[in-house]
């Protein structure tokens, strides 16, 4: 279900947001966007490799902690592990098997560590509305 935006995200205030399921949001901002997954949901429903690719973010010390996955490259880990979390727009446009295969290709090129047993450290961005994380793999 889509809602009007205007919530803080690591990419700026949202212009739109879609609740994929409780604890899982897909947000768009004027310049970027991606998935925001509440920490408790993320830790229960995605792999440690996926947690390592996301970055932890909260707006302030009173806010919910999220694992965030930007829309250019990091999203692929979500589509690969949970193709059902693609959201309304992407579900209508892209078949599940194609989405998962494309996600795997993106992961292999932008996050090859996902397929290794060693997990990199988790990036932590707290109190950082002015900090943004974008994929810089050139895809």
Strand runs labelled E in 63-119 = 66-70
What pLDDT is stored for residue 136 in this prediction?
Answer: 44
What pLDDT is stored for residue 90 in this prediction?
Answer: 83
* Integer Cα distance of 137 and 139 in angstroms: 6
Domain-wise residue ranges, the chain: 2-117
What pLDDT is stored for residue 42 in this prediction?
Answer: 97
Are 137 and 16 spatial neighbours (Cβ–Cβ below 8 Å)? Answer: no
- The pLDDT tens digits of the residues spanning 22-49 come to 999 999 998 899 999 999 999 999 999 9
**Whole-structure pTM value:** 0.80
* Integer Cα distance of 97 and 53 in angstroms: 22
What pLDDT is stored for residue 5 in this prediction?
Answer: 61
* Integer Cα distance of 106 and 83 in angstroms: 14
Q: What is the mean pLDDT of the chain?
A: 83
3-state DSSP call for residue 29? strand
What pLDDT is stored for residue 95 in this prediction?
Answer: 85
What pLDDT is stored for residue 118 in this prediction?
Answer: 57
Q: In sequence order, which ranges of the chain are alpha helices (DSSP H)?
A: 39-45, 48-53, 75-81, 88-93, 96-110
- The tokens describing 102, both together, are 């494309």
pLDDT digit of tens for each residue in the chain (139 aa)?
Answer: 555 568 899 999 999 999 999 999 999 998 899 999 999 999 999 999 999 999 999 998 888 999 999 999 999 999 999 999 998 878 888 888 888 999 999 999 999 999 986 544 444 444 333 334 445 443 3
């Amino acid at each position: 279900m889509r809602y009007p935006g205007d919530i803080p995200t690591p990419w700026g205030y949202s212009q739109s947001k879609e609740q994929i399921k409780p604890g899982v949001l897909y947000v768009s901002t004027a310049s970027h966007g991606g998935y925001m997954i509440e920490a408790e949901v993320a830790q229960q429903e995605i792999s440690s490799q996926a947690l390592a690719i996301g970055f932890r973010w909260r707006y302030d010390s009173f806010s919910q902690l999220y694992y965030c996955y930007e829309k250019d490259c990091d999203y692929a880990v979500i589509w690969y592990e949970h193709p059902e979390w693609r959201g309304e727009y992407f579900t209508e446009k892209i078949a599940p098997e194609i989405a998962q295969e494309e996600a795997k290709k993106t992961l292999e090129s932008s996050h090859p560590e996902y397929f290794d047993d060693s997990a990199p450290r988790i990036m932590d961005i707290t109190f950082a509305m002015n900090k943004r994380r974008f994929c810089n793999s050139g895809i």
